[in-house]
């Protein structure tokens, strides 16, 4: 998926907050941090959506 930071921020408002503030694998950055960084860098969020499971894995800087 490829999502603008403002849309991703709205999504994090409605998902389970434990999901928004943690990483399933314990290694990657928090989804909330990724959304904030993407907003500051005018970037987009990349990740996946499957069977109701949402995951932002990184940011993609336009260029």
4-36 pLDDT per residue, tens: 999 999 999 998 888 888 776 778 888 999 999
Helix, strand or coil, per DSSP, at residue 36: helix
Q: What confidence category does residue 43 fall into, taking pLDDT thresholds of 50, 70 and 90?
A: very high
pTM of the shown model: 0.85
With b meaning 16 or more CB within 10 Å and e meaning fewer, what string describes 22-37? ebeeeeeeebbebbbb
Q: Into how many domains does the chain fold?
A: 1
E strand or H helix at 3: strand 2-4
Structural domain containing residue 11:
2-60
């Amino acid at each position: 998926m490829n999502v603008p930071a403002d849309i991703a921020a709205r999504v994090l408002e409605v998902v389970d907050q434990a999901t928004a503030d943690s990483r399933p694998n314990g290694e990657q950055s928090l989804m909330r941090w990724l959304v904030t960084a993407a907003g500051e860098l005018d970037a987009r969020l990349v990740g996946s959506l499957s069977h109701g499971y949402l995951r932002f894995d990184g940011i993609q800087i336009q260029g």
